Structure 1
């Protein structure tokens, strides 16, 4: 199988990496974090000019026609730079619902705005009691004439404080853990009855707690079947996991590079500490974990567009399991090999480990997905 990038993909990779190298150093990132939005609107404009927001949408819908491989390239570069902008919630999650669940009218109205960067999106799914289960939904959407009335609360909505519109899971029928009776509704973030509290997460990203108090939305705000949208949610999340795996490869590769460079320059007993064999063994363990994460990311990326729900889900479970375990190993070794400086706010490696930890917890940690993979019969079903 040929894993080489095409000429267009190589140009995308090189162009984005140059942009981030020029404008997203560690000190620049601190300044972006201190901005009112918590990220750089200037960088967001650069992404739009490069076509990154339009990348996954079809040309017929006003996009560029990229696929999971192009998303992988972008997410790995953003991970390596520890970028703060809400690309993942807007383009990967929000864009996923637009591409996979939107009607022709919904796509025509919303994709051009998302593609030019003027519309930011977020996915409001996590609830206080939901843990990692996508089907645990207590927020309700009650039918009232030709409208739905949404009531409930969502937690840790990534990018939710800056999003203009929110994709919200809400229950139209059944009990809190029923797999049927779940709909996805697009809610205006400034609609009457919506309240948001934004905050900084442990890794420097932004999220929000959002409550919905009898928020009225038209029936046209439903994406997919309002009584059976869980398959759509799972498909979008499977693709999002592949994108997170790609970001984790960028994060892990940065931690590995920082650590190897440190081993070469930090001296003890008059020699670089990288000369000590026991530390070389740890560096090798880091490299092996990184390459294993890269391999499973390639597999998850190839399976992201699969119409076989079970096979795609197994790939997502395997990717989340491997990047979670490998990311923790790389992060722990990086901190240990750096010593005390690795724990300081002034040095980058600790910030990478924080981001890696948050990636592990997003849409289920590695233990959760290992259990799900075992219940599914393993990566390759019998």
Structure 2
């Protein structure tokens, strides 16, 4: 695929690399993680100052109206330096879910300026990764000011939701699947927070008669949710590519400098072959990520097929590169002191985010029949 960033997108990519190198250098990662809350808050403030948080928000919502490729340029740098940020959930997914709704104007403004964070609760205990599986119930009506709704149910794995001030959740009304906006401190909302192996902090939600604001038209949310999640997936694909690139580069450096029997282990042909296989997987993942990102404007069925194919394959490539990097470093590759183990942990979580490879392969096959009909 012949793909090149524009001058403005190269500037975004350069600024992401500089921010990562300045705030999250790999050599000091363990020490930095000891001050996780302070440093992530500073990172978010820097992103807001650079205009990154406003970039994915549409111009009509007060943002910069940046493209998915603009976001991709940033996300590659975030992945390369393993910046533990809620950028995708907060600045990509949520704005895509509530764009154009006057009731979300204040929230989007706060996200853009960095004074508030939001996350999306879309998955439920018995639904796996199925966005259409919604048992969370919404009771009320869309009359009046649109706030006469109460929600009851559960949401699992709210990505980067531990520090969110607002949640956008799916719930089922008489009309069908709908989107609602909920304050994190709303009465009846229980937020269980947890830290994943990659240091990102997620949440589970239990809603018991929680007051909520309807976003958009009741019963018409599923297409919006699917498109927003595809945008989030594409952002994560770029992050995975950036992480793979860094892991591959660190592994090549190790092969050049680590010596056995008086020679660099990079001179061993078997290890050279494995390094080449890593490079091939990286470039395959990069092409798939580019293809998926450029497909976001296609009709829904074709878009979802391309994104599912990319999600499945990039996840497989990311795990392959991460595992090979750890193995080629030997036993020390498993230690927290080396950045390689952190890249593998992030690849494991990215592979699961918004659907595993198995889930997306099944979705691709199902959509293949629809596209061919």
- Provide the TM-score with structure 2 as the length reference: 0.94
RMSD of equivalent CA atoms? 2.0
In structure 2, the partner of 1:91 is 91
Name the SS of the counterpart of 1:56 in structure 2.
coil
Structure-2 separation of matches of 1:184 and 1:26: 39
Report the 3-state secondary structure (helix = DSSP H, G, I; strand = E; otherwise coil) of the residue aligned with 2:3: coil
Contact 1:184 1:224 in 2 (8 A): yes
C-alpha deviation, 1:50, in angstroms: 0.4
Structure 2 residue aligned with 1:187, among 168, 182, 186?
182
What SS is found at the alignment partner of 1:346? coil
Q: Could you say which residue in structure 2 is the equivalent of 1:314?
A: 305
User: Partners of 2:284 and 2:2 in 1: how far apart?
Assistant: 18
* Residue 206 in structure 1 maps to residue 197 in structure 2: no
| 1:318-338 alpha-carbon deviations (Å, 9 max, x no partner) | 111111111121112111111
Q: Which residue of 2 aligns with 1:367?
A: 358
> 1:153–1:209: 8 Å Cα contact kept in structure 2?
yes
Deviation at 1:341, TM superposition (A): 0.7
* 1:130 equivalenced with 2:131 (yes/no): no
Give me the whole-angstrom Cα distance separating, in 1, the residues matched to 2:35 and 2:203: 17
Report what 1:78 is aligned to.
78
Alignment partner of 1:231 is 2:191: no
Task: Give, in angstroms, the shift of residue 39 of structure 1.
Answer: 5.3
The partner residue of 2:118 within 116, 121, 128 is 121
Match of 2:139 in 1: 142
Where structure 1 has 5 or more consecutive residues not aligned to the other structure, the ranges are 174-179
**Partner residue in 1 for 2:276:** 284
| Mapped partners of 1:381, 1:302: distance in 2 | 22
1:327 and 2:313 matched? no
Is the 8 Å Cα contact of residues 33 and 84 (structure 1) preserved in structure 2? no
Give the direction of change, closer, same or farther, for the CA distance of 1:243–1:172 in structure 2 (3 Å limit): same
Shift, 1:225, TM fit: 2.3
**Corresponding position of 1:357:** 348
Unaligned 5+ segments in structure 2 are none
The separation in 2 between residues aligned to 1:355 and 1:379, in whole angstroms, is 33
- Cα distance in 2, alignment partners of residues 182 and 35 from structure 1: 40
- Equivalent residue for 1:266? 258
User: Which structure 1 residue ranges, 4+ long, deviate > 4 Å from structure 2?
Assistant: 378-382
Of 316, 324, 333 in structure 2, the residue corresponding to residue 342 of structure 1 is 333
State the secondary structure of the residue aligned to 2:187.
coil
Distance of 1:191 and 1:83 partners within structure 2: 30
TM-score, normalisation: structure 1: 0.92
